[in-house]
Amino acid sequence: MEEINALIHGFSVALTPYNLMLMFVGITLGVIIGVLPGLGGANGVAILLPLTFSMSPTSAIIMLSCIYWGALFGGAITSILFNIPGEPWSVATTFDGYPMAQQGHAGEALTGAFTSSFVGALVAVLMFTFLAPLVAGFALQFGPPEFFSVYLLTFCSFVGTGKGNPFKIVAAMMLGFAMAAVGIDIVTGQLRLTFGFTELLSGFHFLVAVIGLFGIGEILLSMEEGLSFSGHSARINPKIVLQTWAKLPRYWATSIRSCIIGCWMGIIPGGATPASFMSYGVARKMSRNGDKFGTGQLEGVVAPETAAHAAGTSALLPMITLGIPGSPTAAVLLGGLMIWGLQPGPLLFIEQKDFVWGLIASMYLGNIAGLIVVLTAVPLFAAILRVPFPIIAPVIVVICAIGAFTVKNNMLDVWMMVVFGVVGYAFRKLDYPLAPMVLALVLGDSAESSFRQSMLMSQGDLRIFFQNWLVGSLTGLAIIALFWPLISGGIARLRGAATGAARG
């Protein structure tokens, strides 16, 4: 097995004392980010990105991906103890996690959440190890039309899997593309959408957008609630951990289902949030205790946490192999790769073996480190949550401002951050999704250039996107995903009509 050898080599890259230290630092920072309102995986990584510029790319990605794992773990703490989801993907964890805490089983709920997160991540990493080289090898044959149809599939999936108004999803996405087009056109060298402002020459930087939309936007939204934290305290001792671990194997079927849902939703850009909801819903339908869900069932914590973590991990697969991130955080990591001079995509597996396999090895190690950190340090992280909001809020604004400034050492970016914050607040309240907007901003230039190259190849004939079975099926899938709300609505209506006819 070639992959096993490569993985062992990866462990030798990742297992240096320096990298191990970065892993623990990253996990701890990540959990703190996941616990604090206004800082999440995406903008947390965005803010900390400049700190890694002096490191080697491998060490930097290890630290940043560990921040991401930490944020995934951290979301569960706030959900269970405070009924406040620190991250969108941990909303479903509150349904059964918080009732468990109210009944005094907080330790059990937390252990269950962390352990199933770990299981979900581990399964996703295993899948990653064996699937990623295959996908990368496959993608080596891709030309511009294939790449564009993958982009198309990525963006159409947002419409297909999104819950909200499809027109708002497309509008938000296209705004992202429009922002990506601002600045110098790479092909012709013409200035686009700058309207004579020299500040707009280099365009909008997506890190600034991420920090503003998610960070400042979240703070504004949290302020609205007036936030008075009142949480349950939790003690985790080895006895509770062992007791919970003894119970968990009972939910093996739920775990497996959640892993599959998570891996699938992570690869297609649905992301961790819908994966966690879907997994909770499926578990409630399939479980024998389904009707007791919502009253504090351990199984109701296991299902969303497993899926969220599996999805969060597998979102890195298309990012590394195709250069197409499956989630906003993966998009920020992708931006980091580009800043370090690594071009994500299939060639990465050939040209940067140390980097890729070091990263994969660090995914295994990082999640083990994460489990250790969260199981031992829960009281500490819960204490951070008790810091009152009037202290937290300005500190987070300061951190966001520093993060926005360090992106390009540009004062205008700090102003842009505030503007993006207001936009993020309004969009969140009006159900315009932020994730497709950020992904469009990141991928806009690559999507455009693959489209233009395809058009050059075919002299403007759109049929190039159906010229062979590969690109044709990708485009076909994309079109199905785009019209999925209509299709599923039609199926439901047909079924409704059929049962209505049967009754009548």
Partner 1 sequence: MAHNENSTQGVARTVVVDLVVALLIFSLGALVAFDSVRLGASWGSDGPQAGYFPFYIGFLICACSAVVAVQSLARLRTDRRVFVSGGQFRQVLVILLPSAVYVFGVWLIGIYVSSALFIALFMKFAGRYSWLRSASVGLAVSGAAFVLFEIWFTIPLPKGPVEQLLGY
Looking at residue 165, the DSSP 8-state letter turns out to be -
For residues 414 and 108, is the Cβ–Cβ distance under 8 A?
A: no
The residue among 383 and 411 lying less far from partner 1, judged by its C-beta, is: 411
Q: If binding is defined by CB under 8 A, does position 178 make contact with partner 1?
A: yes
The residue among 463 and 503 lying less far from partner 1, judged by its C-beta, is: 463
- Angstrom distance (rounded) from CA 326 to CA 329: 8
The residue among 176 and 300 lying less far from partner 1, judged by its C-beta, is: 176
DSSP string, 173-223: HHHHHHHHH-EE-TTT--EES-TT-GGGTT---HHHHHIIIIIIHHHHHHH
> What are the C-alpha distances in Å from 326 to residues 15, 50, 162, 249?
27, 22, 14, 30
- Angstrom distance (rounded) from CA 378 to CA 223: 25
Among 67, 358, 448, 477, binds partner 1 (CB under 8 A): 448
Q: Amino acid identity, residue 398?
A: V
Interacting span for partner 1 (CB under 8 A) from 5-13, 73-81, 218-226, 288-296: 218-226
Q: How far is the CB of 40 from partner 1 (least distance, A)?
A: 18
Among 140, 187, 487, 494, binds partner 1 (CB under 8 A): 187
For residues 155 and 169, is the Cβ–Cβ distance under 8 A?
A: no
- Angstrom distance (rounded) from CA 496 to CA 418: 48
Q: How far is the CB of 360 from partner 1 (least distance, A)?
A: 28
Among 9, 247, 292, 452, binds partner 1 (CB under 8 A): 452
Q: If binding is defined by CB under 8 A, does position 490 make contact with partner 1?
A: no
Among 165, 289, 446, 467, binds partner 1 (CB under 8 A): 165
- Angstrom distance (rounded) from CA 81 to CA 106: 7
Q: If binding is defined by CB under 8 A, does position 405 make contact with partner 1?
A: yes
Torsion angle, alpha carbons of 491, 265, 288, 500, to 10 = -10
> What are the C-alpha distances in Å from 57 to residues 63, 316, 333?
10, 16, 11
Q: If binding is defined by CB under 8 A, does position 54 make contact with partner 1?
A: yes
Q: If binding is defined by CB under 8 A, does position 320 make contact with partner 1?
A: no
Among 130, 167, 197, 245, binds partner 1 (CB under 8 A): 167
Q: How far is the CB of 188 from partner 1 (least distance, A)?
A: 5
> In the structure encoding, which two tokens stand for residue 358, read together?
């070091």
Q: If binding is defined by CB under 8 A, does position 171 make contact with partner 1?
A: yes
Q: If binding is defined by CB under 8 A, does position 219 make contact with partner 1?
A: yes
Q: Which residues, 88 to 127, sit near partner 1 by CB under 8 A?
A: none
225 burial (CB, 10 Å; 0-12 / 13-18 / 19+) is exposed
Alpha helices by DSSP H, 226-271: 238-247, 252-267
The residue among 22 and 315 lying less far from partner 1, judged by its C-beta, is: 22
- The count of other CB atoms within 10 Å of the CB of residue 388 is 10
Q: If binding is defined by CB under 8 A, does position 256 make contact with partner 1?
A: no
Among 31, 124, 150, 216, binds partner 1 (CB under 8 A): 216
Q: If binding is defined by CB under 8 A, does position 489 make contact with partner 1?
A: no
- Angstrom distance (rounded) from CA 208 to CA 210: 5
Q: If binding is defined by CB under 8 A, does position 409 make contact with partner 1?
A: yes
Interacting span for partner 1 (CB under 8 A) from 232-240, 265-273, 283-291, 445-453: 445-453
Interacting span for partner 1 (CB under 8 A) from 28-36, 235-243, 310-318, 450-458: 450-458
Q: If binding is defined by CB under 8 A, does position 401 make contact with partner 1?
A: yes
Q: How far is the CB of 58 from partner 1 (least distance, A)?
A: 19
Q: If binding is defined by CB under 8 A, does position 462 make contact with partner 1?
A: no
The residue among 70 and 421 lying less far from partner 1, judged by its C-beta, is: 421
For residues 106 and 80, is the Cβ–Cβ distance under 8 A?
A: yes
Nearest of 157, 392, 173, 187 to residue 266 by alpha carbon:
157
Q: If binding is defined by CB under 8 A, does position 339 make contact with partner 1?
A: no
The residue among 331 and 396 lying less far from partner 1, judged by its C-beta, is: 396
Q: How far is the CB of 283 from partner 1 (least distance, A)?
A: 32
For residues 27 and 12, is the Cβ–Cβ distance under 8 A?
A: no
> What are the C-alpha distances in Å from 409 to residues 180, 300, 361, 405?
20, 46, 34, 5
Q: If binding is defined by CB under 8 A, does position 195 make contact with partner 1?
A: yes
Size of the site for partner 1 (CB under 8 A): 58
Nearest of 11, 102, 29 to residue 374 by alpha carbon:
29
The residue among 131 and 457 lying less far from partner 1, judged by its C-beta, is: 457
The residue among 110 and 435 lying less far from partner 1, judged by its C-beta, is: 435
- Angstrom distance (rounded) from CA 117 to CA 131: 21
Nearest of 280, 330, 270, 271 to residue 305 by alpha carbon:
280
- Interacting residue ranges for partner 1, rule: CB under 8 A: 50-51, 54, 165, 167-168, 170-171, 174-175, 177-178, 181, 185, 187-188, 190, 192-193, 195, 216, 219-220, 223-224, 226, 388-391, 393-395, 397-398, 401-402, 405-406, 409, 411, 414-415, 417-418, 421-422, 425-426, 429-430, 432, 448, 451-452, 455-456, 460
